[in-house]
Amino acid sequence: EQQDPLEYLQSDEDDDEEKICAQRRLQEQRERLHGALALIELANL
């Protein structure tokens, strides 16, 4: 059974896009967390 190379490349690209989106979401969450922690630290000063 041989897989169509074009189809394979296409699905690979989709995976990459999903990974990029996931990384972007993680980055946003991380930045929000940093902002919240900074506010907490300021409040504790």
User: According to the model, what pLDDT value does residue 8 have?
Assistant: 60
- What's the predicted TM-score (pTM) here? 0.57
> How do the pLDDT tens digits run along the chain, 45 residues long?
676 766 665 666 678 889 999 999 999 999 999 999 999 999 998
Q: Return d(Cα 30, Cα 7) in angstroms, integer.
A: 35
User: According to the model, what pLDDT value does residue 11 have?
Assistant: 64
- Tokens matching residue 22: 């996931």
φ, ψ for residue 3, nearest 5 deg: -95, 140
User: According to the model, what pLDDT value does residue 14 have?
Assistant: 74
